[in-house]
């Protein structure tokens, strides 16, 4: 369950972007993955941090380490923060490059907040299209 002092922050259309919680005399922004999105700042800066992060990253390729010899390219299937008695989770699938003809790719259910081994793709990560020997 989320701490009682976490205040949801939503876009103008009502979509949840994350939470803002007190941090001493300031406020800290937390994104949908449960990760810190700002250092302690004033309330408006915490809101701006969540607005800047937005939701577009949900469509990006991410990397999951520790499941194979090299990091796996993955895409988000589900991000469910904890709510009442329900445990939160993050579900990703191995990137299928949008190919609807191939069999479903492997899925991984991770805890919420998302572990550090789930990270944005970086330059030099396996791209899934290059065959190496």
Give the tens place of pLDDT for each residue, 37-75.
999 999 999 999 999 999 999 999 999 999 998 899 999
**CA–CA dist 52, 98 (Å, integer):** 27
**Percent of the chain predicted with pLDDT > 90:** 78
Residue range 23-29: average pLDDT? Answer: 97
pLDDT at 52: 95
At residue 133, does pLDDT exceed 90? no
The pLDDT value recorded for residue 49 is 97
Instruction: Answer whether residue 129 shows pLDDT above 70.
Output: no
Q: According to the model, what pLDDT value does residue 126 have?
A: 78
The pLDDT value recorded for residue 36 is 97
Mean pLDDT, the chain, rounded, equals 92
């Amino acid at each position: 369950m989320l701490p009682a002092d976490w205040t949801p922050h939503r876009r103008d259309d009502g979509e949840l972007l994350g939470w803002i919680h007190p941090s001493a005399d300031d406020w800290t922004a937390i994104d949908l993955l449960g990760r810190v999105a700002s250092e302690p700042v004033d309330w408006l800066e915490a809101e701006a941090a969540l607005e800047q992060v937005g939701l577009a990253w949900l469509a990006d390729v991410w990397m999951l380490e520790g499941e194979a010899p090299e990091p796996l390219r993955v895409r988000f299937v589900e991000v469910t923060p904890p709510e009442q008695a329900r445990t939160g989770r993050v579900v990703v699938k191995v990137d299928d490059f949008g190919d609807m003809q191939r069999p479903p790719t492997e899925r991984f259910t991770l805890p919420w907040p998302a572990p550090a081994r789930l990270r944005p793709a970086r330059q030099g990560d396996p791209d899934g299209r290059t065959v190496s020997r």
